[in-house]
Structure 1
Amino acid sequence: MLDDAEISRILVINAHPDDVDFGAAGTVARWTDAGIEVVYCLVTDGDAGGSDPTVSPAELAALRRSEQKEAARQVGVHDVRFLGYPDGRVEATLGLRRDLARVIRQIRPDRVVCPSPERNYIRPGISHPDHRAVGSAALDAVYPDARNPFAFPELLSDEGLEAWTVREVWIAGTATPTHYVDVTKTFPRKIAALRAHVSQISGRDGLEDFLRERLARAASQGGLPEGSLAEVFQVLDTG
Structure 2
Amino acid sequence: MTSESRATHPFPRRFGRVLVVAAHPDDAEFGFGATVARFVDEGTDVTYLVVSDGSQGGEDPAEPAADLTATRYAEQRDAAKVLGVTEVSFLGFPDGALTDGPDLRKALAREIRRYRPDLVLTHNPLRSLQFPIGASHPDHLAVGEATLNAVFPFARNPRAFPELLTEGFATHRVAEVWVPGYEHTDLLIDVDHTAERKVEAVLAHRSQFRESADPRADVAWVTERMRGYGRTLGCEFAEGFKRIVIEPVSDDPA
Aligned-CA RMSD value:
1.5
Match of 2:237 in 1: 229
Match of 1:43 in 2: 51
2:70 to 51, 62, 67: 62
TM-score, L = length of structure 2: 0.88
Alpha-carbon distance in 1 for matches of 2:216, 2:203: 12
Note if 1:142 corresponds to 2:151: yes
Local SS of the residue matching 1:61: helix
Match of 2:134 in 1: 125
Alpha-carbon distance in 2 for matches of 1:5, 1:216: 24
1:223 Cα deviation (Å)? 3.2
Change in 2 beyond 3 A, CA 1:107/1:71: same
Match of 1:155 in 2: 164
Residue deviations 1:129-180 (CA, integer Å, cap 9, x gap): 00000000000000000000010000002x1110000011111253211111
In structure 2, what residue type is equivalent to 1:46? G
Note if 1:207 corresponds to 2:225: no
1:217 to 222, 228, 249: 228
Local SS of the residue matching 2:183: coil
In structure 2, what residue type is equivalent to 1:106? R
Local SS of the residue matching 1:206: helix
Note if 1:100 corresponds to 2:108: yes
**Contact 1:11–1:40 under 8 Å retained in 2:** yes
TM-score, L = length of structure 1: 0.94
In structure 1, what residue type is equivalent to 2:244? L
Gaps of 5+ in 1: none
Note if 1:177 corresponds to 2:189: no
1:6 Cα deviation (Å)? 2.6
Alpha-carbon distance in 1 for matches of 2:115, 2:88: 12
Worse overlay, 198-207 or 126-135? 198-207
**Contact 1:32–1:76 under 8 Å retained in 2:** yes
**Contact 2:80–2:86 under 8 Å retained in 1:** yes
**Contact 2:119–2:177 under 8 Å retained in 1:** yes
Change in 2 beyond 3 A, CA 1:180/1:3: closer
How many percent of aligned residue pairs carry the same amino acid?
A: 43
In structure 2, what residue type is equivalent to 1:135? G
Local SS of the residue matching 1:87: coil
Change in 2 beyond 3 A, CA 1:173/1:207: farther
Worse overlay, 5-14 or 63-72? 5-14
Alpha-carbon distance in 2 for matches of 1:148, 1:211: 38
Local SS of the residue matching 1:214: helix
May I ask how many residue pairs the two structures share in their alignment? 234
Change in 2 beyond 3 A, CA 1:205/1:35: closer
Alpha-carbon distance in 1 for matches of 2:54, 2:114: 24
In structure 2, what residue type is equivalent to 1:6? R
Gaps of 5+ in 2: 1-9, 248-254
1:214 Cα deviation (Å)? 1.7
Note if 1:24 corresponds to 2:36: no
Residue deviations 1:27-53 (CA, integer Å, cap 9, x gap): 000000011000011100210010023
**Contact 2:11–2:189 under 8 Å retained in 1:** no
Change in 2 beyond 3 A, CA 1:54/1:94: same
**Contact 1:25–1:75 under 8 Å retained in 2:** yes
